[in-house]
A and B are shown apart, each in its own frame.
Chain A
Amino acid sequence: MASIVLDRVCVDFPIYDSDRSLRKLLFRASIGGVVSNDPTRRNRLTVRALDDLSFTLNEGDRLGLIGHNGAGKSTLLRVMSGAYRPSSGSIRIEGVVSALLTLGMGIDPEETGYANIYNGCLLLGLTPAQIRGKIDEIADFTELGEYLRVPVRTYSSGMQVRLAFAVATSLQPDILLLDEVLGAGDAVFMIKARQRIEELMSQASLLVLASHSTEVIRRFCNKAALLKSGHIEEYGPVETTIAAYEKAVAAASNGAAVAVPSPEPPSKPRRRANGNQARSAKPKGER
């Protein structure tokens, strides 16, 4: 039985002294949630990437996550994969999880495709015996043929996607988490990827997919969640959620074009969220 239960999940990214990672700070500010001061410590900024999320996913659910850059889609996927532990609240994950979140994960460009398949499967928790049983199937799926014998650094990004996708879906996971990556393959591979996912879904698993493409969401999902600044704006049937998303996009781009302050916050509120504004913006819960 695959299921994911989120109970009041919050994720706060701490921002340490900016010298250490000015790049990261900027990165988070442009994509991130609400910047605020950590109430428990002075002089410590945090970005609230996920704000009090509670929902349950069960077998057969195919959830699409949509929202602007920085709405929290990727962070949510990373919490579901178990990589991040919630700052507060809890998550319960039941079932074997396979996550295709970072394309480069565990891939050594100097190694051949085969070696990377082997190592990638080890990372996912397969034993060498299991890998030997699967490696031909994975290799076939990539359709990379003899390219699997040469170092991955010679691959195009689309070829790397094929490799990574084939490895990530080799596990027959109960829960499959995908982040935006489907778009990188070519049309033929998109069809294959879709077949593969549908095959995995038919084995009664659970899919969570983050994408900006409403088309991708429509094709793969039977539920959708619209995220905004770390909380859920809309959750339910795909069409309803996409309608809400498109409305928000239209409102935001309208506001930008006419330069009239819209009643809703503009599309990138957290860029301005500097110390002053943020301090009063949201008193944050305990960690």
Chain B
Amino acid sequence: MSSDTLPQSPALAPGAAAERGRSSRLAPVYADMLDGSGRWHLWWALAWRDIKGRYRRTIIGPFWTALNTAILVTTLGFVYALLWHEDPATYLPFFCAGYISWYLFSTIVSESGTALIAEEATVKSIRIPYTVFIFRVITRNVVVFAHNLVVFLLVAVIFQLHWDWKILLLPIGLLLSLPNYFWIALLLATVCARFRDVIQFVGNLIQILFFVTPIFWEPSRLARNPVAEFVFVTANPAYHLVEIIRAPLLGQAPSLFNYAYVVAMAVVGFGVLLVLLRRFYGRITYWI
């Protein structure tokens, strides 16, 4: 950090003066991502503080997360199994795996809208990579996911799930979803800083998505309605992000299409993100 230039009009940065092209305007964006990821001590501490803060002065602390999930999954799982005449022994693990994968997705999406706004005092006082606060939101929700995983392990033991090598696809699923969570979170954090209504909109969208995404119902139920199947399953990004984590948990392999969709989504998403940030990166602090 010995030399530091903040060229708003790129003309003033020596070297960049000649090339006023897209690379110079994207340079601060890349630098932000690089610096931000390098400051993992910071976002790890912030994420951990968030989690601790939620359960401050409770006795079992973060295990409330797991307990909440356990209670919800068991009650809803049995009710749904009864309603639809499913076998709880297969339905409960399915619902639990789907729910915790969905929870990871939905909390990151809904919390990222305020990721930057909430840090107004910091962002307006010192120079700090915005991505620090994106990594923080993702990290704390991955930690919550890890707590929820304990619940799923219990469910898996109780219902004697059979695992083979396909469980190894779980880390792959997580690794492929994280870039997506990153671009979604940074995009939402930026857009919500400028347009506060988007926060409300995303909150609504997440609620609706829970019902129209195959979380508590199996995708095969729509097999006879191709239009609905396409809209709610095939084209639904939430489904693919859930499925690449849920399937390995259940000892199944996600389809190649799941993986292809998620990779394509990451590529397109990063493209959109960079187009947006290239134009507006220097304005973000003003919006907050």
* Chain B, range 153-167, C-beta contacts under 8 Å to A: none
> CB distance B45 to A119 under 8 Å?
yes
Nearest CB on A from B70, distance (A): 27
Known contacts A89-B9, A91-B6; A123/B128 CB under 8 A: yes
> A20: which B residues are within 8 A, CB to CB?
196
A94 contacts B4, C-beta separation under 8 Å:
yes
Chain B residues numbered 7-64 whose CB sits less than 8 Å from any CB in chain A: 7-9, 11-13, 39, 41-42, 45-46, 49, 53, 56
- The 30 listed contacts between A and B (C-beta, < 8 Å) are A13-B286, A14-B286, A16-B194, A78-B125, A81-B127, A82-B127, A83-B126, A84-B124, A84-B286, A85-B282, A86-B6, A88-B9, A89-B9, A90-B12, A92-B5, A93-B6, A94-B3, A95-B2, A97-B126, A101-B125, A102-B125, A105-B122, A106-B122, A110-B53, A122-B39, A122-B41, A122-B45, A123-B128, A124-B126, A125-B39
Footprint of A on B, CB under 8 Å?
1-9, 11-13, 39, 41-42, 45-46, 49, 53, 56, 121-128, 194, 196, 282, 285-287
Q: Which of B8, B123, B126 is the one whose CB lies under 8 Å from A87?
A: B8
Closest to B12 in A: A90
Instruction: Please name 13 further chain A to chain B contacts, defined as beta carbons within 8 Å, in addition to the given A16-B194, A82-B6, A119-B46, sorted by A numbering.
Output: A14-B287, A89-B9, A90-B11, A92-B5, A93-B6, A101-B124, A102-B121, A102-B125, A115-B49, A119-B45, A123-B128, A124-B126, A125-B1
Cβ of A283 < 8 Å from any Cβ of B? no
Q: Is the CB of A110 within 8 A of B56?
A: yes
Would you call A254 an interface residue if the criterion is a C-beta within 8 Å of the partner chain's C-beta atoms?
no
**Residues of B contacting A7 with CB < 8 Å?**
12
**Interface check A128, CB cutoff 8 A:** yes
Given contacts A88-B8, A89-B8, A93-B4, contact A105 B286 (CB under 8 A): no
How many chain A residues sit at the interface, stated as a range, is 35 or more
Instruction: Tell me the smallest distance from the CB of B115 to a CB of chain A, in Å.
Output: 15
With the chains together, A240 CA to B2 CA distance in Å?
33
Chain B residues contacting A106 (CB-CB under 8 Å) are 121-122
Residues on A lying within 8 angstroms of B by beta carbon are 7, 13-14, 16, 20, 78, 81-97, 99, 101-102, 104-106, 108, 110-111, 115, 118-119, 122-125, 127-128
Residues in B whose Cβ lies below 8 Å from that of A83: 123-127, 285
B53 near A90: Cβ-Cβ < 8 Å: no
Contacts of A118 in B (CB 8 A): 45
Please determine whether B49 and A108 come into contact, CB atoms closer than 8 angstroms. Answer: yes
CB-defined contacts of B285 to chain A, threshold 8 Å: 83-85
Q: Contact between B6 and A105 (Cβ–Cβ < 8 Å)?
A: no
A99, B8: Cβ atoms closer than 8 Å? no
Kindly state the separation between the CA atoms of A7 and B7 in the bound complex, as whole angstroms.
Answer: 10
Which residues on the A side are within 8 Å of B49 (C-beta)?
Answer: 108, 111, 115, 119
B1 to chain A minimum Cβ distance, whole angstroms, is: 6
Report whether B2 and A94 are in contact in the complex, using a CB–CB cutoff of 8 Å.
Answer: yes
Residue in chain A with minimal CB distance to B57: A110
A220–chain B nearest beta-carbon distance, Å: 20
Contacts of A111 in B (CB 8 A): 49
In the A-B complex, the 4 residue pairs with the closest CB atoms = A82-B127, A90-B12, A85-B282, A101-B125
Nearest B-chain residue to A77, judged by Cβ: B125
How far apart are A152's CB and chain B's nearest CB, in angstroms? 13
Closest to B120 in A: A102
Chain A residues with CB under 8 Å of B127's CB are 81-83, 97
Of listed A14, A90, A94, A101, residue having the most chain B CB within 10 A: A90
Residue in B41, B122, B125 whose Cβ sees the most chain A Cβ within 10 Å:
B125
Q: Report yes or no: B2 in contact with A90, Cβ–Cβ below 8 A.
A: no
Q: Tell me whether A89 and B12 are in contact (CB under 8 A).
A: yes
Complex Cα–Cα for A122 and B4 (A): 19
Q: How far is the CB of A153 from chain B (nearest CB, A)?
A: 12
Within 8 Å by CB of B8, from A14, A90, A95, A122, lies A90
- Cβ of A105 and Cβ of B42 under 8 Å apart? no
Query: Bound complex: CA of A96 vs CA of B41, how far in Å?
Result: 19
- Give the complex CA separation of A99 and B9 in angstroms: 24
| Nearest neighbor of B128 in chain A, beta-carbon distance | A123
B residues less than 8 Å from A87 (CB atoms): 8
The answer to whether A123 touches B122 (Cβ under 8 A) is yes
Residue among A78, A94, A101, A105 with max Cβ neighbours from chain B (10 Å): A105
Question: Roughly how many angstroms separate A7 CA and B128 CA in the complex, as a whole number?
Answer: 22
Contact B12 A105 (CB under 8 A): no
CB distance from B8 to the nearest CB of A (A): 5
Partner of A90, one of B7, B42, B122, B125: B7
